[in-house]
């Protein structure tokens, strides 16, 4: 049994067992990152016999993942997927032992990162048109700009935007909703983390979408965000590089899609003072999830309080210092000798 055959059979098994769409999508993505060659990992295991894959092969995959800067929680998640897959292979009689057994037990606790700084986000997003045009409207730059603009408009996850289908956004572009203030808003359906989701976007994304759809040579591509060379759907790891390229162009510290999403949610909560609105905007199952993982609103409030407190103390210290210098009094309250 070759890996590719077992891979497809395993996904069918999970589907029949009632696995959710998101779970199947996650398992597919994790196993694909192992089986398919990439910039980080050059081996191609698609046509390799299951019995020929060794523990050393899997350890090398994790070593390169660490080298690429992946978080420990990511290693732990991939470890769980690998072990579940190989245990299933044992039950099916495809292998006798699991090459994924005995892997280190990494922590699944996620690294909770802060929202992207508002100034950096504004620098990139408000000038994203300049980035799209800076190489005479290079197709890759237009595609990158559209991706960033859609996430900035909607606060959607990177994977949700990467899953937008070409035919759906073309229909969305023709059906704007005109708001009371005259602004137009567009909605395009996609697949979210917990099911179907509608992504909203506005004029800048509208214009960039038109430019991208009329620029790409892959007119029959299934997905909006596709490879320039093959027309196939852009993998999320490749799509994420749009943020690296744009931030480098504007000479700001690199922030990721999730940090931009957190900035949006933080600003919604800050402007409304309502965690419930933040939860609805983020698409979380409850306000508690938002309060736990998107607490930058509170952290930034603490930063402001701390800064004001430090400023007052600094101001008082300066006044005391000037008074001591004026009257010749040292820190001990006694006259200093001249």
**CATH code of residue 178:** 1.10.443.10
335 lies in some domain: no
Which residue, among 301, 300, 304, 260, has the nearest Cα to 282 in the 3D structure? 260
The C-alpha angle with vertex 128 and arms to 169 and 274, in degrees rounded to 5, equals 75
pLDDT for residue 25:
86
Tell me how far CA of residue 25 lies from CA of 9, 98, 160, 319, in angstroms.
14, 23, 12, 62
Q: What is the pLDDT along the chain (338 residues), one digit of tens a residue?
A: 899 899 999 999 999 988 888 788 889 989 988 887 665 556 788 888 999 999 988 888 888 888 777 777 888 889 999 999 999 999 999 999 999 888 877 765 655 678 899 999 999 999 999 999 999 999 999 999 999 999 999 999 999 999 999 999 999 999 999 988 888 999 999 987 767 889 999 999 999 999 999 999 999 999 999 999 999 999 888 899 999 999 999 999 999 999 999 999 888 888 888 878 888 888 887 777 777 777 776 666 667 777 777 777 776 666 565 656 655 655 545 555 54
Indicate whether 152 and 77 sit together in one domain.
no
Give the model's pLDDT for residue 323: 58
The CA radius of gyration of the chain, in Å to the nearest whole number, is: 26
- In a 3-state reduction of DSSP, which class is residue 2? strand
Mind listing the pLDDT tens digit for each residue in 35-64?
A: 876 655 567 888 889 999 999 888 888 888
Task: Give the predicted TM-score (pTM) of the model.
Answer: 0.64
Of 192, 189, 186, the residue nearest 209 (C-alpha): 186
pLDDT score for 237: 85
Judge if 260 and 146 occupy the same domain.
yes
Q: Which helix (H) or strand (E) holds 190?
A: strand 184-192
Does 42 fall in a domain? yes
Give a yes or no: residue 237 inside a domain.
yes
CA–centroid distance for 190 within its chain: 16
> What confidence score (pLDDT) does residue 179 get?
86
DSSP 50: G
Residue span of the structural domain in which 22 resides: 3-92
Q: Would you state the pLDDT for residue 282?
A: 81
How many Å apart are CA 301 and CA 188, to the nearest integer? Answer: 34
Task: For residues 143 and 198, state if they share a domain.
Answer: yes
Query: Residue 317 domain-assigned?
Result: no
Number of structural domains the chain divides into? 2
CA angle 183, 187, 192 (to 5 degrees): 140
Alpha helices in the chain (DSSP H): 3-16, 21-35, 55-67, 72-92, 118-125, 128-133, 139-154, 158-162, 166-173, 203-215, 236-239, 241-250, 257-272, 275-282, 287-293, 296-327
């Amino acid at each position: 049994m070759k890996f590719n055959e077992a891979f497809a059979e395993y996904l069918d098994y999970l589907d029949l067992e009632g696995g959710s769409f998101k779970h199947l999508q996650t398992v597919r993505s994790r196993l694909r990152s192992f089986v398919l060659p990439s910039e980080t990992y050059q081996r191609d295991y698609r046509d390799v016999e299951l019995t020929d894959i060794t523990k050393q092969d899997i350890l090398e995959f994790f070593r390169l993942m660490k080298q690429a800067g992946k978080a420990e929680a990511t290693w732990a998640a991939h470890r769980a997927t690998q072990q579940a897959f190989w245990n299933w292979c044992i039950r099916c009689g495809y292998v006798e032992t699991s090459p994924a057994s005995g892997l280190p037990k990494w922590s699944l606790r996620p690294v909770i990162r802060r929202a992207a700084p508002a100034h950096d986000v504004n620098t990139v997003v408000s000038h994203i048109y300049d980035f799209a045009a800076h190489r005479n409207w290079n197709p890759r730059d237009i595609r990158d700009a559209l991706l960033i603009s859609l996430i900035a408009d909607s606060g959607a996850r990177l994977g949700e935007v990467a899953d937008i289908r070409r035919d759906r956004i073309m229909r969305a572009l023709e059906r704007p909703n005109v708001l009371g203030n005259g602004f137009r808003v567009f909605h395009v359906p996609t697949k979210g983390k917990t099911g179907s989701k509608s992504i909203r976007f506005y004029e800048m994304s509208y214009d960039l979408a038109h430019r991208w759809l009329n620029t790409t040579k892959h007119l029959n591509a299934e997905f909006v965000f596709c490879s320039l060379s093959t027309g196939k759907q852009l993998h999320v790891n490749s799509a994420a590089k749009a943020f690296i390229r744009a931030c480098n162009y504007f000479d700001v510290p690199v922030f990721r899609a999730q940090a931009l999403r957190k900035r949006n949610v933080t600003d919604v909560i800050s402007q409304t003072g309502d965690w419930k609105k933040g939860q609805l905007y983020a698409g979380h199952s409850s306000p508690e999830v938002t309060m736990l993982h998107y607490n930058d609103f509170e952290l930034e409030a603490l930063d402001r309080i701390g800064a004001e407190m430090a400023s007052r103390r600094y101001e008082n210290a300066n006044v005391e210092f000037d008074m001591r210098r004026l009257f010749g009094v040292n820190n001990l309250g006694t006259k200093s000798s001249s």
